[in-house]
């Protein structure tokens, strides 16, 4: 199928202790993913090379050795997770681009990074090799460092809560003399247990402690920003943790604790609505088959005097046959793995566009070709109607006897019924697959966005869509095999073999004799078998691949 010969490649995996590499897959995972990718794409691997050094400065021994071996012709391609695995500096990046230009490197393949064999593609490659990413990363790192420094000094970054103001001169947070007493009173009122959160909202509104647009505050705003905010007794929340603050407390810890007691009693319903333990019910345990559940644990760090709440996922261990020994996994880690799983099923935007265009063409084609088919069938029905009329005439003229008439009439009516059924079946089968197919292409194209984003609920929904109930967690590894037609997105090239029998090519003009419409597979004459959506996806993917090789930077 692949007309371009495959270049023998080195498989290169790298991870260092650099800050930039913190979010990168472990070496083991890189190797596993790349082996799977190479097998799927039929890439022959000369040798697997592993390096554990930073790529920010030139001088990696294994990388340099690989470059020498490519120059001497031992291999002519590299498979790696991402361009930034190969180089993060302009010297090494330049070397690769030079070997590409001189033809020593014929192919660069990255499963997660898409290149076009265009000048823009080369430019993008040079960009990822260069230092721009490092600068961007270090900029955001500096901002974070600045905020962390502030937190260490006991100053909460961000906007002061009600009753306090940000003092621009000292860059600290100080009491707002007018409003602070009402906030304190609010705590006292609520601690008595005779006031509801709504009453507190009214009280604060009456005394002018209200939000900017002048409305009475919603209950959850009152409880989160004021009644349960540790800022008022001297600590503060930052990045999911509690820190000690240098600001002047407004209420005593004892009063604050009384308020918490009341709040717990009154706000059960609201409390349960918090989107915690989002991934429960999504995974089964790979070892015993039971559901994976979540629990939260709060840790106290004595050295820095702060508490952190973690969400852990674990097997419910309800199996009576197997005593399950599977260990816990942090939500952050599970989220990272789920993101990786989702990314594998993201449909490239340009391919989605091409597929939608293709579907539009199919729609027009179907209208045309079915039009011709329906005309013949309707002509046949009309002909039978005429025959029936003639038959009746012959009978009335007494040219034929009653039995003969009945037999012939029954036969004609049966033929007519068959034709009518053929028409209605034809209409439903030919139109019905287009809508869902279009819907699916759009959905698959949206996966990349969902995977990149921070909306865990969207990730959960997408995962349920793609994997159904087939997600498992074993040895702290999340796995899943996709349902149809999602599985077609990761189908091996061998199963892309059907296309010569169906019409492919993105810009097929109009219906051609002897060429099958996309949704046909099998017998041309009877037009009977219609392919599944998965097969249609495979066809169209192939059509895209013919134009833009999958994840391939080929020159
Ligand atoms: Zn288990």
Are both 71 and 185 inside the same structural domain?
A: no
pLDDT of residue 315: 93
Share of the chain above pLDDT 90, in %: 22
Give me ligand 1 centre to Cα 460, in Å. Answer: 21
Are both 207 and 267 inside the same structural domain?
A: yes
Which tokens sit at 527? 């037009």
Q: How far, in Å, CA of 542 to CA of 488, rounded?
A: 11
Give me ligand 1 centre to Cα 285, in Å. Answer: 5
Give me ligand 1 centre to Cα 327, in Å. Answer: 9
Give me ligand 1 centre to Cα 290, in Å. Answer: 6
Give me ligand 1 centre to Cα 480, in Å. Answer: 16
Greater pLDDT, 315 or 523: 315
* CA distances (Å), origin 172, targets 152, 168, 323, 345: 13, 7, 55, 48
Please compute the mean of the pLDDT values over residues 404-427 and round it to a whole number.
Answer: 87
Most confident of 327-341, 367-381, 431-445, 485-499: 327-341
Give me ligand 1 centre to Cα 331, in Å. Answer: 17
* CA distances (Å), origin 298, targets 253, 328, 333: 19, 15, 17
Instruction: Please give the residue range of the domain that contains residue 50.
Output: 9-135
Give me ligand 1 centre to Cα 36, in Å. Answer: 27
Greater pLDDT, 354 or 341: 341
Which tens digits make up the pLDDT trace of 86-109? 887 778 888 888 888 888 888 888
Q: What is the DSSP string of 459-472?
A: HHHHHHHHHTT-EE
Confidence label for 213 from pLDDT (cuts 50, 70 and 90): low
Confidence label for 256 from pLDDT (cuts 50, 70 and 90): very high
10 Å CB burial of residue 268 (0-12, 13-18, 19+) is exposed
Q: Are strands 284-285 and 241-244 parallel, antiparallel or unpaired?
A: unpaired
**pTM for the structure as a whole:** 0.43
Confidence label for 274 from pLDDT (cuts 50, 70 and 90): very low
Q: Using the 3D structure, point to which of 245, 272, 299 is the last residue of a domain.
A: 272
Q: Are strands 477-480 and 552-554 parallel, antiparallel or unpaired?
A: unpaired
pLDDT of residue 471: 94
- Average pLDDT over the chain reads 77
H runs (alpha helix) in 455-525? 456-467
Q: How far, in Å, CA of 199 to CA of 492, rounded?
A: 64
Give me ligand 1 centre to Cα 276, in Å. Answer: 22
In a domain, 205, yes or no: yes
pLDDT of residue 205: 85
Which tokens sit at 323? 């005593």
Give me ligand 1 centre to Cα 322, in Å. Answer: 8
In a domain, 324, yes or no: no
pLDDT of residue 39: 87
pLDDT of residue 514: 31
In a domain, 304, yes or no: no
Confidence label for 432 from pLDDT (cuts 50, 70 and 90): low
Are both 122 and 14 inside the same structural domain?
A: yes
Give me ligand 1 centre to Cα 287, in Å. Answer: 5
CATH number of the structural domain spanning residue 209: 3.90.1750.20
pLDDT of residue 535: 60
Are both 129 and 169 inside the same structural domain?
A: no
Q: How far, in Å, CA of 156 to CA of 135, rounded?
A: 27
| Lowest-confidence region among 43-57, 292-306, 321-335, 538-552 | 538-552
Are both 77 and 183 inside the same structural domain?
A: no
Give me ligand 1 centre to Cα 284, in Å. Answer: 8
Give me ligand 1 centre to Cα 315, in Å. Answer: 5
Asked whether residue 214 carries a pLDDT value surpassing 70, the answer given is no
Most confident of 191-195, 215-219, 336-340, 484-488: 336-340
Are both 158 and 227 inside the same structural domain?
A: yes
Confidence label for 129 from pLDDT (cuts 50, 70 and 90): confident
Please compute the mean of the pLDDT values over residues 484-510 and round it to a whole number.
Answer: 48
Give me ligand 1 centre to Cα 471, in Å. Answer: 13
Are both 129 and 158 inside the same structural domain?
A: no
Q: Using the 3D structure, point to which of 483, 514, 534 is the last residue of a domain.
A: 483
Please compute the mean of the pLDDT values over residues 353-362 and round it to a whole number.
Answer: 77
pLDDT of residue 496: 41
Asked whether residue 7 carries a pLDDT value surpassing 70, the answer given is yes
Domain count, the chain: 3
Are both 202 and 229 inside the same structural domain?
A: yes
pLDDT of residue 526: 29
pLDDT of residue 82: 81
Are both 106 and 170 inside the same structural domain?
A: no
Are both 447 and 416 inside the same structural domain?
A: yes
Tokens 């041309």: give the residue. Answer: 524
pLDDT of residue 153: 84
In a domain, 321, yes or no: no
In a domain, 405, yes or no: yes
Q: Using the 3D structure, point to which of 483, 502, 530 is the last residue of a domain.
A: 483
Asked whether residue 138 carries a pLDDT value surpassing 60, the answer given is no
Give me ligand 1 centre to Cα 296, in Å. Answer: 19
pLDDT of residue 212: 57
User: CB–CB of 84/127 below 8 Å?
Assistant: no
Are both 131 and 250 inside the same structural domain?
A: no
In a domain, 507, yes or no: no
CATH number of the structural domain spanning residue 45: 3.40.50.1390
Confidence label for 120 from pLDDT (cuts 50, 70 and 90): low
In sequence order, what are the beta bridge partners of 108? Answer: 78, 553
In a domain, 293, yes or no: no
Give me ligand 1 centre to Cα 425, in Å. Answer: 48
Q: How far, in Å, CA of 126 to CA of 135, rounded?
A: 15
Asked whether residue 174 carries a pLDDT value surpassing 90, the answer given is yes
Give me ligand 1 centre to Cα 477, in Å. Answer: 13
Give me ligand 1 centre to Cα 288, in Å. Answer: 4
Asked whether residue 115 carries a pLDDT value surpassing 60, the answer given is no
10 Å CB burial of residue 443 (0-12, 13-18, 19+) is middle
| Lowest-confidence region among 52-61, 96-105, 192-201, 299-308 | 299-308
Are both 442 and 368 inside the same structural domain?
A: yes
φ and ψ at residue 433, rounded to 5 degrees: -80, -20
pLDDT of residue 114: 58
Give me ligand 1 centre to Cα 279, in Å. Answer: 16
Q: Are strands 9-14 and 45-51 parallel, antiparallel or unpaired?
A: parallel
Give me ligand 1 centre to Cα 265, in Å. Answer: 35
In a domain, 211, yes or no: yes
Asked whether residue 347 carries a pLDDT value surpassing 50, the answer given is yes
Residue 360 gets which letter from DSSP?
H
């Amino acid at each position: 199928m692949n007309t371009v010969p495959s270049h023998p490649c080195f498989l290169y995996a790298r991870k260092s202790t650099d800050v930039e590499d913190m979010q990168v897959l472990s070496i083991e995972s890189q190797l596993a993913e790349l082996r799977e990718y190479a097998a799927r794409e039929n890439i022959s691997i000369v040798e697997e090379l592993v390096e554990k050094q930073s790529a920010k400065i030139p001088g990696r021994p294994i990388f340099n050795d690989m470059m020498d071996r490519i120059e001497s012709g031992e291999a002519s391609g590299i498979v790696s997770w991402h361009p930034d695995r190969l180089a993060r500096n302009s010297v090494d990046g330049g070397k690769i681009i030079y070997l590409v230009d001189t033809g020593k490197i014929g192919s660069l393949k990255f499963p997660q990074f898409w290149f076009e064999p265009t000048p823009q593609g080369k430019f993008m490659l040079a960009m990822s090799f260069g230092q721009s990413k490092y600068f961007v990363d270090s900029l955001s790192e500096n901002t974070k460092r600045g905020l962390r420094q502030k937190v260490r000094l006991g100053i909460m970054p961000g906007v002061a809560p009600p009753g306090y103001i940000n003092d621009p001169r000292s860059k600290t947070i100080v009491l707002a003399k007018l409003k602070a007493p009402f906030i304190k009173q609010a705590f006292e009122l609520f601690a008595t247990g005779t006031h509801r959160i709504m009453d507190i909202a009214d009280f604060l509104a009456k005394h002018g402690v209200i939000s900017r647009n002048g409305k009475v505050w919603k209950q959850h705003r009152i409880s989160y920003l004021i009644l349960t905010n540790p800022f008022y007794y001297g600590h503060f929340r930052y990045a999911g943790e509690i820190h000690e603050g240098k600001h002047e407390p407004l209420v005593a810890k004892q009063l604050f604790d009384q308020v918490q007691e009341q709040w717990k009693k009154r706000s059960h319903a609201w409390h349960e609505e918090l989107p915690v333990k989002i991934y429960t019910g999504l995974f089964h345990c790979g070892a015993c088959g039971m559901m994976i559940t979540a629990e939260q644990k709060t840790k106290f760090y004595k050295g820095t005097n702060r508490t952190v709440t973690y969400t852990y996922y674990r097997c419910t261990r309800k199996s009576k046959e197997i005593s399950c020994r599977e260990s816990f996994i942090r939500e952050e880690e599970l989220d990272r793995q789920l993101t990786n799983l989702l990314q594998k099923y993201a449909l490239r935007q340009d391919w989605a566009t091409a597929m939608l265009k293709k579907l539009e063409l199919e729609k027009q084609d179907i209208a045309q070709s079915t039009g011709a088919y329906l005309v013949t069938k309707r002509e046949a029905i009309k002909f039978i109607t005429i025959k029936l009329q003639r038959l009746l005439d012959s009978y009335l003229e007494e040219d034929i006897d009653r039995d003969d008439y009945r037999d012939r009439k029954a036969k004609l009516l049966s033929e007519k019924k068959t034709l009518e059924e053929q028409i209605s079946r034809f209409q439903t089968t030919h139109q019905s697959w287009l809508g869902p197919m279009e819907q699916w292409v759009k959905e698959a194209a949206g996966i990349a966005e969902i995977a990149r984003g921070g909306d865990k609920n969207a990730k959960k929904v997408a995962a349920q869509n793609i994997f159904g109930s087939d997600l498992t967690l074993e040895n702290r590894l999340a796995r899943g095999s996709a349902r149809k037609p999602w599985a077609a997105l990761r189908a091996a090239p061998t199963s892309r073999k059907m296309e010569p029998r169906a019409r492919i090519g993105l810009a097929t003009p109009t219906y051609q004799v002897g060429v099958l419409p996309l949704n046909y597979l099998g017998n041309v004459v009877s037009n009977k078998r219609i392919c599944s959506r998965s097969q249609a996806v495979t066809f169209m993917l192939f059509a895209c691949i013919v134009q833009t090789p999958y994840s391939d930077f080929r020159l």
